[in-house]
A and B are shown apart, each in its own frame.
Chain A
Amino acid sequence: MDPRQERQVSRPEAGGRRASPGSVRRDFQPWNDPTAKPLVEFRNVTKRFGAVVAVDRLSLAIHQREFFALLGPSGCGKTTLMRMLAGFEQPDEGEILLDGVDITAVPPHKRPVNMMFQSYALFPHLSVGDNIAYGLKREGLPKAEIAARVEAMLGRVRLKGMEKRRPDQLSGGQRQRVALARALVKQPKLLLLDEPLGALDKKLREETQYELMDLQADLGLTFMVVTHDQDEAMTMADRMAVMDHGRLLQIAPPDLIYEAPASRFVAEFVGDINLIEGRVTAVAGDLVTLESKSAGVIELDEDAPSCRPGDAITVGLRPEKIALSHDEPGQANNKVAGEIWDIGYLGDMTMVQVMVGGDQGKLFKVSLTNRTRRIERPFAWEDKVWLSWDVEAGMVLAS
């Protein structure tokens, strides 16, 4: 099939979502409700492989209808966590609850949890239709019901008319949808997706993200995605968890993870950031003043700051929160002079590297959105420029 044709078909569906459940989504915050009963619960789960601790005393609650993303570098234990939910790995300590029932000892084929594998793991000897029907046949459902549910699922993932094909006669995107359909047709309480978009090219990946969100919202299912791609996690997830060395560093909605990271690792792992080391000189209400070697005196606004004068702290500053100008800004609380060392033009935006404090100083990353259509650049290499930012822009990071 012509790939362009495929995309056109997908558009109305992708558009449909934006109109419907947006406002519902905004109020969806069961994790802030202390009376809500989570669908999945990890209680102090530890998993070791020999001397390596893959998952370390981890506790986590995922709620009904939530789109949860688990983000982390490779080897952080995120896949192990997912495989424990599917039943392929047994925790060494702790317990895993599904709907309040301890499933730690339940074998994979008896769990109401299904998984979409990273490699898709489609059965090469079965047709598309038989692949999707496989799980229903294991349940021993009547033939007519199986046929009807497979048919409905084929329509849902836009594979009508392809049920007779073998997996090796499909494109990458089609195979991905068969894998999704095969897991979804079982109507699992929880669908696990292991790097669901990893094998797709960029354009297809973006579209598929929205399709997955539509499916999840329409079917009212709970999704848990494991990924190392932060764009993917941030686009799709209601909440995401950043994981490293077998522990969860922060669990929060994507905007909070980005704008209020709990630690230096989270701040550096998700998005770009400038880090400034300094010593606190004064705390007056919410306003923290610090003295830094690389950027002089900095003021920042923190809700109920926990630092006291004399503390050594790290301040994080996102590149898009910094303004760049040739003339010295008059009003700004925070400003520092520097020289442009590098300009990276990316089309939609430009990433400028500014050296502050002479040749041995510190490089600041500043991103500029290219809002007007022009070729001549306002900034050039070796320009003397000023960086400035609001008191709200900086954030104190725990190391």
Chain B
Amino acid sequence: MRRFGAFHLAALVAGFAFLYLPIVALIAYSFNASRLVTLWGGFSTHWYGALMRNQPLLDAAWLTIRVALVSATLATVLGTLAALALARYRVFVGRTLFSGMVMAPLVMPEVITGLSLLLLFVAGDVERGYWTVIIAHATFSLGFACIVVQARLAGFDRSLEEAARDLGATPMETFATVTLPLIWPAVAAAWMLAFTLSLDDLVIASFTTGPGATTLPMRLYSAIRLGVTPEINAACTIMIAAVAVAVIGASLLMKRDALAGR
């Protein structure tokens, strides 16, 4: 085995520091007793308490979670259906186009996605708010969900579905009793991914929301313009924890799925 040299160690430390030092600082200062962000005043959970009494912030957090729950579910259902269509029907008119279009939101700049959705809502005279944010989030996370499920379906043994049909299952029964139970880890991972994407989105939400539907990232962003407070640090720390749990959960599910698929 090659020795782990000093250079490699330094590179590793520098890399991780670059990635995680800001987050560590944010977390550390959320436990700062001092009101001044730049001055360490001793350990305290005071700001978490203050957070719990900040009603506008709590409202925004609750709204964000509801948006994420509904839009992730919507995106997972639609993304799974799209993945099934792409994996099952190898040849249909416009397959390449459809496949490309599903993936487009992945590379599309968020500003453009947000702006185009805004224009659509304005043109359609849709009142902007809670539901428009949900639709927007489902739209852009659908592509991610589709990719995750499609990867699982690529290794799916189709004779399992044929066996189910052969044994008397209708197409719907086959999906419910064989296909879905076998791809559910990928579906769950897709849902968690979509949930995370919705949770921390600022740009698209800003474009598509309306009065009375301010999400947490938007609330935090506007609060920062008035100055960073440890309270915001505390809110961010909680969000980081939530996102980390979802991401780790998703990757564990995908890993388990890969092992089971062998």
Contact = CB atoms under 8 A, between A and B. Distances in A.
B166 A114 contact: yes
A119 B166 contact: no
30 contacts: A86-B162, A86-B166, A88-B162, A108-B162, A108-B165, A109-B167, A109-B170, A110-B168, A114-B167, A115-B162, A115-B163, A117-B163, A119-B157, A122-B163, A123-B164, A124-B160, A124-B182, A124-B260, A125-B181, A134-B167, A134-B177, A135-B167, A135-B168, A138-B167, A138-B168, A182-B167, A183-B166, A183-B167, A186-B167, A186-B168
B222 interface: no
B87 interface: no
Nearest to B163: A121
A33 interface: no
A344 B171 CA distance: 55
Contacts of B182: 124-125
B173 A115 contact: no
Contacts of B168: 109-110, 135, 138-139, 186
Nearest to B181: A125
Interface string B228-262: 00000000000000000000000000000000100
A108 to B, nearest CB: 4
A138 B173 contact: yes
Contacts of A134: 164, 167, 169, 177
Contacts of A186: 167-168
A108 B157 contact: no
Interface residues of B, number: 18
Contacts of B166: 86-87, 108-109, 113-115, 183
B159 interface: yes
Interface string A81-115: 00000111000000000000000000111100111
Q: Majority SS of interface residues in chain B?
A: helix
A115 B166 CA distance: 7
**Which size bracket describes the interface of A in this complex?**
20 to 34
A123 B165 contact: no
A125 to B, nearest CB: 5
Contacts of A115: 162-163, 166
A45 B231 CA distance: 76
Contacts of A86: 162, 166
B163 A123 contact: yes
B90 to A, nearest CB: 13
B79 to A, nearest CB: 22
B178 interface: yes
A119 B170 CA distance: 22
Given A88-B162, A134-B164, A121 B169 contact: no
Contacts of A113: 166
Contacts of A110: 168
Interface string B156-194: 010110111111111001000110011000000000000
Contacts of B167: 109, 114, 134-135, 138, 182-183, 186
Interface in A337-375: none
Ordered nearest first, which 8 A-B pairs have the shortest CB separation?
Answer: A135-B167, A138-B168, A121-B163, A121-B159, A108-B165, A125-B181, A109-B168, A115-B166
A312 B4 CA distance: 80
Nearest to A107: B165
Contacts of A107: 165
Nearest to B261: A124
Contacts of B165: 87-88, 107-109
Contact of A121 (B157, B170, B260): B157
A119 B177 CA distance: 19
A297 to B, nearest CB: 56
A124 B262 CA distance: 11
Interface in A57-102: 86-88
Contacts of A117: 159, 162-163
Given A114-B167, A117-B159, A119-B157, 12 more contacts: A109-B170, A115-B162, A117-B163, A119-B159, A121-B159, A121-B163, A122-B163, A123-B163, A123-B164, A125-B181, A138-B169, A186-B167
Contacts of A125: 181-182
A87 B170 CA distance: 13
Interface in A171-191: 182-183, 186
B169 A123 contact: no
Contacts of A87: 165-166
Contacts of A109: 165-170
B160 to A, nearest CB: 5
Nearest to B182: A125
Interface string B130-168: 000000000000000000000000000101101111111
A107 B168 CA distance: 10
Counting chain B CB atoms within 10 Å of each CB, the highest count among A86, A117, A119, A138 belongs to A138
A109 B169 CA distance: 6
